[in-house]
Structure 1
Amino acid sequence: MRATLLGAAIALVAGVVVATPAHAANPIITSVYTADPAPLVVGNTMYIYAGRDEAAPGQQNFVMREWRVLSSTDAATWTDRGARANIGTFRWAGADAWASEVEPRGGKYYWYTSVNGNGPGWMNIGVAVGDSPLGPFTDAKGGPLISDSTPNSSGLNIDPTVFTDDNGQAYLYWGSYWGVRAAKLKPNMIELDGPVVTPQGLTNFWEAPFMFKRNGLYYMIYAANDTNGCVTSSSYACQRYATATNPMGPWTHRGVVLGQVSSTTNHAGVVQFNGQWYMVYHNANAPGGGNFRRSVAVDLLRFNADGTMQRVVQTVAGPPPNPGVTA
């Protein structure tokens, strides 16, 4: 998997664009298996950045070599824009295109990825950059942003989420194996601006943080695998959430926002689009799907008057079309 020829072949695949509209239902794309979704709204389009599951039927291991982009202008009908980055994007990496997220800054789009470097240790966080939400994307740093050598790094350095506050300060959260971590980013978006800290208050954190802001309050959703109202078996996970008045916490745990899904992993993101809030997540519900052949789904997210989140109802139909206000 780490061979140079394979990396070159994967790089060629990344250049292929597959624009395939999908019917309005969950999962939103069934032509390939997609996982670990992260949403981003730019103008009148919602994008979802996701890894691709390539495990063969019955294979009990993650096989992930590329990151894809899905897009919609109504949050109901989706188009697969193809692979826009892959492990060949990072010459210092060789395997495992795991969870990722894109954050805009200064007219550029920074793609934070979980990827296995060729050096010591296992998973790293890399950064690619492009001039549009669809790229093309290239390595922005030439090496990992986060690795095992980063002071106070997580037990497993995966699942980056980046949030930029109204004052322009960007924050990076990541981690797994119960090891959530956070740090500020410099304006160039490819260097840490201060020490790595361990946030407080994210009760039963396991992995997959995602941060957003609503009405002046910061929200963090994350995967948990406890059996205290989350799941009945720790082999699965739910999505808990917490709120804070400061982007670095401390956080106050609020409860479960997404229950157990049909895959063992549970990875989600939240976004507002055309006045409506949505949760994107993955499950194993596509034909032939499974724990290593997952697919992205989208459903409505609703808030109570006090700012708490209602538990998301997982549907087969998906959300109704929401094209926004047209002239």
Structure 2
Amino acid sequence: MNKLKQHSALAITIAMLATSTSSCQQQTSTAGAKTTDTTKKIKYLSEPLISEIYTADPSAHVFNGKIYIYPSHDIEAGTPENDNGDHFDMRDYHILSMDSVNGKVTDHGVALSIKDIPWAGRQLWAPDAAFKNGTYYLYFPAKDKQDIFRIGVATSKNPAGPFKAEPKPIEGSYSIDPAVFTDTDGNTYLYYGGIWGGQLQRWNNGNYAADGSKTDSGKEDEPALTAKVAKMSADMLSFDGPVKDVVILGKTGKPLLTKDHDSRFFEGAWMHKYNGKYYFTYSTGDTHFLAYAIGDSPYGPFIYQGTFMEPVQGWTTHHSIIEQKGKWYIYYHDTQLSGKTHLRNIKVTELKHNADGSIQLIKPVLQ
């Protein structure tokens, strides 16, 4: 990575601060998520929603007037850390709920385990959920028996599960970070993709290259890799039509380039609709910002608007955005409890749209 913008210095500072904090913290338990911070040097915008287990990548939804959160369940698996993310070795999902924002959190226990997914080999990463046809759908990435990330789906009649996985992943799916969006006309779309460990850079025209490079850094002046989107079938179990690129354009009308590390898509897609416009939000990954782009269609193209969240403590961030009772909220994670990039905790704070439709900047770490 080279020629980063000035913003990247802040990302690096946050990462260094997280490492420093980690060395000064003491964990009381590796099974739970309770820690004692002996430094008290960092002031956070929000506090963890739950500390009994480590959680990350929170996908929040309001079902039946109640908030349900579908996060990753981080564990200390003892897997060596590497750039492929093997140390993020999650093995099940716990679904959380609460009656109101920052209310008491209920952990509903294991909703789906990797041992109950016929096609999966390892690593249950960031999931999302949807409701349609009287059924709740849990979308999740996992590596198959050939160590290739695919996206699976599981169903339940209860938003808290347990969920039963389909015997095979969604045909034509790959990579990570599924995010489900149902438009006001009832059509549902699945956004997905993640670079590096998420393997998006290894795919070309539906073909997977096992020896694909870690990044696409050799193509700095070419249009950046971007997320994928597909319309879901009526039964929510398959794609209804071709997978398309989520095209993100700069304000000049030209695609964002690979070298635009502070603005290009990396992972963690999410979609929300505000005042008739489609807001595609995502993580810049290696520079740790949340960015947004606005379009007139769920397919885009989307015009890049800027960043709306500065780096969290930890490697990167992953979010969801929902509306409840006339206010908007962003759910995200950091490493306040552990100081370790693979043992995270989820948080929530209010998200505000300005009169012109832009999003106000959020600073998760207060200095």
Give the alignment's TM-score, normalised by structure 1: 0.79
Q: Which runs of 4+ in 1 moved over 6 A?
A: none
Q: Find the aligned partners of 2:76 and 2:147 in 1 and give their Cα distance.
A: 24
2:125 to 86, 98, 109: 98
Deviation readout 1:183-214 (Å, 9 max, x if unpaired): 11111111111111112116400011011112
Task: Give the conservation status (yes or no) of the 8 Å contact 1:26–1:315.
Answer: no
Q: Find the aligned partners of 1:48 and 1:312 in 2 and give their Cα distance.
A: 21
Residue identity opposite 2:304 in structure 1: H
CA 1:58–1:30: 2 relative to 1, 3 Å? farther
- Which runs of no fewer than 5 residues in structure 1 stay unpaired? 1-24, 226-233, 317-327
CA 1:166–1:291: 2 relative to 1, 3 Å? same
Residue identity opposite 1:110 in structure 2: Y
2:281 to 196, 221, 231: 221
Structure number with larger C-alpha Rg: 2
Q: Find the aligned partners of 2:331 and 2:319 in 1 and give their Cα distance.
A: 5
Q: Find the aligned partners of 2:282 and 2:126 in 1 and give their Cα distance.
A: 13
1:131 Cα deviation after fit: 0.7
Query: 50-59 vs 198-207, which deviates more?
Result: 50-59
> What does 1:267-286 align with in structure 2 at a 5 Å threshold?
267-286=318-337
Residue identity opposite 1:301 in structure 2: L
- What secondary structure, in the 3-state scheme, does the structure 2 residue paired with 1:88 have? helix
Partner of 2:188: 170
Partner of 2:3: none
Partner of 1:70: 96
Task: Give the conservation status (yes or no) of the 8 Å contact 1:242–1:251.
Answer: yes
Partner of 1:21: none
Residue identity opposite 2:355 in structure 1: A
**Amino-acid identity (%):** 34
CA 1:31–1:132: 2 relative to 1, 3 Å? same
> What does 1:33-112 align with in structure 2 at a 5 Å threshold?
33-55=54-76, 60=81, 61-77=87-103, 78-112=105-139
Residue identity opposite 1:214 in structure 2: Y
How large is the Cα RMSD of the aligned pairs? 2.1
Give the alignment's TM-score, normalised by structure 2: 0.71
Partner of 1:29: 50
The number of equivalent residue pairs is: 275
- What secondary structure, in the 3-state scheme, does the structure 1 residue paired with 2:100 have? coil
Task: Give the conservation status (yes or no) of the 8 Å contact 2:312–2:365.
Answer: no
Q: Find the aligned partners of 1:297 and 1:34 in 2 and give their Cα distance.
A: 10
> What does 1:278-297 align with in structure 2 at a 5 Å threshold?
278-286=329-337, 288-297=338-347
Q: Larger helix proportion, structure 1 or 2?
A: 2
Q: Find the aligned partners of 1:58 and 1:98 in 2 and give their Cα distance.
A: 15
Deviation readout 1:17-54 (Å, 9 max, x if unpaired): xxxxxxxx611111111011100101221111011111
Task: Give the conservation status (yes or no) of the 8 Å contact 1:223–1:237.
Answer: yes
